[in-house]
Amino acid sequence: MDVTNESTQGNFILLGFSDRPHLERILFVVILIAYLLTLVGNTTIILVSRLDPHLHTPMYFFLTHLSFLDLSFTTSSIPQLLYNLNGYDKTISYTGCAIQLFLFLGLGGVECLLLAVMAYDRFVAVCKPLHYMAIMNPQLCLGLVSLAWGCGVANSLIMSPMTLWLPRCGYQKVDHFLCEMPALIRMACVNTAAVEGIAFILAIGIVPSPLVFILISYGYIVRAVLRIQSSSGRHKVFNTCGSHLTVVSLFYGNIIYMYMQPGASSSKDQGKFLTLFYNIVTPLLNPLIYTLRNKEVKGALRRLTLVNFSLRKKL
């Protein structure tokens, strides 16, 4: 069935790789497995952080929010993507597209800002260890997380309607897997310079500004680490900060590669695969990074496993 000839009033058609059904079948299996592992991994992080008293610290409070963000981010688009990959129906309703775009922009923005908040937490922990709990008190932690959520949602509330209200002159085919802002802007039949300009200005506060803050924070952290005399102390700091820095590198590296490439030098297929990486691989790897590199999380998992085993034995 040729999906490019199918059009439903008020619906969008997500083309994806509809011209290569064999590739879509492979992607369906890979994405389904990755999505299930993402659900398990991030849910485990949330449960362990909440159930183990040893992890009731600011760092794991932020990590819980990061895992919740990853769960929400993938769930906002992957079920629809799997549905489209598994059959001939590639449509998504206008309302569904609007919700997907709003969540994609909002949650992506929140994650950019939350990673900056987590960098500040690591900065205080390493550079001001004696005052850490006084500075990172529950009120400040909640305030920082609320600020990240508020700014991310506000950005999406501005950009989503502006993108969706662009005239498309009846054109309904989105050359992508999901309702992503650049793909929807390309569908417009009017000059989009004003919308792109506003998007660029707003993006400065959401993407490069937090990244600059993270880099400055880690500059101070590296300077503080070099002053530590004990090799075990340095190793502990590197283990603690290494996980966060790895996640930052994955997240921002993909975003910068996606959006800093000149249009002529990157193919549309490359953009689609990068979006899949951003939407699937990063949320999948985050729990693995934090569990494999973090002795506290691994210890908490062991303690919870032993408690669960002891309870079953008694029963």
With b meaning 16 or more CB within 10 Å and e meaning fewer, what string describes 152-180? bbebbeebbebbbeeebeeebbbebbbbb
- Residue 312, pLDDT score: 63
State the Cα–Cα distance between residues 315 and 304, nearest whole angstrom.
Answer: 17
Asked whether the CA dihedral 263, 265, 269, 272 is positive or negative, the reply is: negative
- Residue 68, pLDDT score: 94
pLDDT in tens, the chain (315 residues): 344 433 334 788 887 777 777 888 888 899 999 999 999 989 988 988 888 887 888 988 999 999 999 999 999 889 888 888 887 778 888 888 899 999 989 998 999 999 999 999 999 988 898 999 999 999 999 999 999 999 999 999 999 998 888 888 877 888 788 888 888 888 888 888 888 888 888 888 888 899 999 999 999 988 888 887 777 767 777 777 777 888 888 888 777 766 555 444 445 666 777 778 878 888 888 888 877 666 777 777 777 676 666 666 665
Q: What are phi and psi of 14, to 5 degrees?
A: -90, 105
Judge contact between 301 and 48, C-beta under 8 A.
yes
Domain 12-259+278-297 has CATH 1.20.1070.10: yes
The residues spanned by each domain of the chain are 12-259+278-297
- Residue 275, pLDDT score: 78
Q: Which two tokens stand for residue 239?
A: 């283990």
In three-state form (DSSP H/G/I as H, E/B as E, the rest C), the secondary structure along the chain is: CCHHHCCCCCEEEECCCCCCHHHHHHHHHHHHHHHHHHHHHHHHHHHHHHHCHHHCCHHHHHHHHHHHHHHHHHHCCHHHHHHHHCCCCCEEEHHHHHHHHHHHHHHHHHHHHHHHHHHHHHHHHHHCHHHHHHHCCHHHHHHHHHHHHHHHHHHHHHHHHHHHCCCCCCCCEECCCCCCHHHHHHCCCCCCHHHHHHHHHHHHHHCHHHHHHHHHHHHHHHHHHHCCCCHHHHHHHHHHHHHHHHHHHHHHHHHHHHHCCCHHHCCHHHHHHHHHHHHHHHHHHHHHHHHHCCHHHHHHHHHHHHHHHHHHHHC
- Residue 140, pLDDT score: 95
- Residue 174, pLDDT score: 83
- Residue 299, pLDDT score: 72
State the Cα–Cα distance between residues 228 and 236, nearest whole angstrom.
Answer: 11
Residue 281, judged by CB atoms within 10 A of its CB (0-12, 13-18, 19+), counts as middle
State the Cα–Cα distance between residues 260 and 238, nearest whole angstrom.
Answer: 30
Beta bridge partners of 14: 174
- Residue 124, pLDDT score: 93
Q: What is the CA radius of gyration of the chain?
A: 22
